[in-house]
Amino acid sequence: MARACRELAAAGLVIGTAGNVSVRAGDLVAVTATGARFGDMTAGEVTVVNLAGDVVAGDLAPTSELLLHLGIYHRYGSAAIVHTHPPAGTALACVLDELPVIHYQLLTLGGPIRVAPYATFGTPELAAAVADALDDRLGALMANHGAITRGGRLDQAVELSLTLEWVCELYRRAATIGRPRVLDERARAAALAAYAQRRYGHPHPAR
């Protein structure tokens, strides 16, 4: 987890302490501690809680966004969550209600990315709004706040976070030139079929 946090900071998705990461293992959740800096995160800055939010291991208090992580784990079968404050994603979350599919790579997150309504950080209202936005999606934007991804493994959640920010930056650049074209349902279906047929994004032997 500490290594993943440092990777996210190096990629520019997090500045200082703005973000949090967690991994679930059964009834326990390892989560970054409040006030921990991503750029030099260490294993000692990871706290373990149960699904009720009680600290069971670690010397530091868990992130103020603990309700956000636990709410997603309670609703979905995810194993890892990454919450960041990326520049492009956060900027779009200040102006869009939904990030449309302008590039097929966004399909790896499930399709158009919803923007969860704004609510104060650390509140049940924010946790509920973000959980709703993640329905049938592996990522969401948080209005005037940031971005979040979930996955079956920590490395997957990190990769999806990087992908989401890449598409957000792509949208931002395209919008300065003109109105970005959006892939329609037919184009999306064809891309998904190509993903499956060619095992796109996964190493495999040559035929």
Count of other CB atoms within 10 angstroms of residue 8: 24
Task: Report the alpha-carbon distance of residue 97 to residue 112 in Å, rounded.
Answer: 10
From the list 45, 65, 159, 185, the catalytic residue is 65
Residue in this structure with the two tokens 């990777």, named with its chain if needed: 7
Annotation says 65 is catalytic: yes
Q: Is 27 helix (H, G, I), strand (E, B) or coil?
A: coil
Reading the block at residue 196, the tokens are 């499956």
59: left (phi over 0), alpha (psi -120 to 50) or beta: alpha
Closest by Cα among 181, 180, 168, 102 to 139: 168
Query: Which of the residues are catalytic?
Result: 65
